[in-house]
Amino acid sequence: MIIKDNQYYIGPHRVDELCCRFGTPLYVYDAEIIRARIYDVKTEAGVYPKTEFLYAVKANYNPFLIHHIVKKGLGVDAVSPEEVRLGLLCGAKPEQILFTENNATDAQIDEVFDLGVLINVGSLSHLGRFGRAHPGSRVCVRFNPNIGIASHESNITGGADSKFGISFQDVDRVKGLIDQYQLRLVGIHQHIGSGWLRLREPILALDVILDIAKQCDGLEFIDVGGGFGVPYRPKEHRLDMKTLGRQIAKRMEQFCASYGSDVALRFEPGRYIIAEAGHLLTTVSGMKQSISRRTIVGTDTGMHHLVRTAMYGSYHEIVNITNPDGMHQEYDVTGNICECADFFAKNRMLPEVREGDILSIETAGAYGMAMASNYQFRPLPAEVLVDEDRVTEIRPRQTFGTLLAQFGHVSFS
Ligand code: LLP
């Protein structure tokens, strides 16, 4: 978003005009930012020549966004059979998709297998079941390197108590099952957590997976998952992806030289691709003072549209689109849901906020709409993609009718 003559713009479009045209609450994504972030990962993280990127569609599964990203050459990291099907629909080829199962049923694994998509198996028992059902097949195995890092505790997926992956100590048991069912272990995988901005743990974890790789023959790829963080706060530093890319490339090249073949490296970025491209635009629908004289801003959106603050205490920058020059004052910014956790900011300094102003909740493209719900029977907002001059509604706003239609035919007379 840029400001010009006191007006905020997304691409060449005035934000207030987008709100007039589509209403609020409204998610707006900027295709130019998506392309810039794809360029970053390809050129900076992808220093190792044989690097492949799979977009983690869980971050935002709007098909128009997936299509845009797949057209730029990314594959798809999917965690449900439905995400797999969506990836295929959006133009990814089966071999560009990896299904990372977690507590999947046999039926779900078979469904994905029949679509020609590689399964990334996350437990010894599932590896055995997969082997019995599909002996001789290609398979990927997810390991837990016992190292985790994330922006929030609940997003750490590597470590002693994590439910994800097979322990790094169980390589021999994995190899035993691979031999027993004559499976072809073509890839090994790990994902240690989401939203990190530090390099230490990801590099340590890479060393663990390379050590596992040395013990496995015939690998085609090593997948180190996603997790690249983005700055949510104004002065937060950016991830030093160039250094990360160089350090990983060095280790991969050393590994391949002794392994005897050029194994591909895979990343699964979700947040990094889409977070900064997304804005949640909302209208201030109420202002009040609490008993303790805090100034409470009420908006026409809430935790049902962006749950990250309520769920993880996540920080999202807020911009007053209507009154950029207003005197800064302290506010609590809340939503319209009947829950105390329904807020976006506490004690936040913002240019004077008035009823009717439009606010933009920033860096909302990842795990915003993807985690939105119909809690309190509220409709989901519309989504719009801005691509230079073009503005496309990529998801219509839900209505009472579309909400009700989820129950089939409802009539009691
Ligand atoms: N690969 C795997 C296997 C994953 O589990 C995830 C995220 C990713 C890739 C992508 O991670 P990313 O690059 O987007 O950080 N709802 C939380 C984030 C949960 C992430 C779950 N797994 C949030 O709002 O911060």
**Across-strand partners of 266?**
52, 223
3.30.565.10, 3.30.1320.10, 2.40.37.10, 1.10.1040.50: CATH of 2-29+275-405: 2.40.37.10
- The reply to whether 31-272 shares the fold of 2-29+275-405 is no
Three-state DSSP class for 169? helix
Is pLDDT above 90 for 110? yes
Q: Residue 29 is which amino acid?
A: Y
Share of the chain above pLDDT 90, in %: 95
Is pLDDT above 90 for 83? yes
CATH number given to 31-272:
3.20.20.10
Ligand 1 geometric centre to CA of 14 (Å): 32
Ligand 1 geometric centre to CA of 142 (Å): 15
Average pLDDT over residues 176-191: 98
Ligand 1 geometric centre to CA of 48 (Å): 23
Is pLDDT above 80 for 150? no
CB 151 within 8 A of CB 106: no
- Tell which atom from ligand 1 comes closest to the C-alpha of 367: 24
Domain ranges of the chain: 2-29+275-405, 31-272
CB 194 within 8 A of CB 200: no
At residue 95 the predicted structure's pLDDT band, cuts being 50, 70 and 90, is very high
Is pLDDT above 90 for 33? yes
Buried-state track 53-85, b at ≥16 Cβ within 10 A, e below 16: bbbbbbbbbbbbbbbbbbeeebbbbbbbbebbb
Is pLDDT above 90 for 154? no
Ligand 1 geometric centre to CA of 352 (Å): 35
Average pLDDT over residues 311-328: 97
pLDDT digits (tens, 9 = 90+) for 248-282: 999 999 999 999 999 999 999 999 999 999 999 99
Using most ligand atoms within 8 A of CB, pick from 69, 98, 194 the residue to mutate for ligand 1. 194
Helix axes 106-114, 124-133, angle to 10 degrees: 50
CA distance 130 to 389: 49
Q: Which residues line ligand 1 (CB under 6 A)?
A: 56, 58-59, 77, 100, 155, 157, 191, 194-195, 225-228, 268-272, 308, 366-367
Q: Residue 263 is which amino acid?
A: V
Per-residue pLDDT at 152: 83
pTM of the model: 0.97
Helix axes 200-214, 241-259, angle to 10 degrees: 10
Using most ligand atoms within 8 A of CB, pick from 38, 54, 58, 101 the residue to mutate for ligand 1. 58
Three-state DSSP class for 249? helix
pLDDT digits (tens, 9 = 90+) for 349-403: 999 999 999 999 999 999 999 999 999 999 999 999 999 999 999 999 999 999 9
At residue 127 the predicted structure's pLDDT band, cuts being 50, 70 and 90, is very high
CA distance 195 to 105: 29
CB 185 within 8 A of CB 216: yes
At residue 157 the predicted structure's pLDDT band, cuts being 50, 70 and 90, is confident
Q: Are strands 328-334 and 295-299 parallel, antiparallel or unpaired?
A: parallel
- Tell which atom from ligand 1 comes closest to the C-alpha of 308: 24
CA distance 319 to 233: 12
Is pLDDT above 90 for 149? no
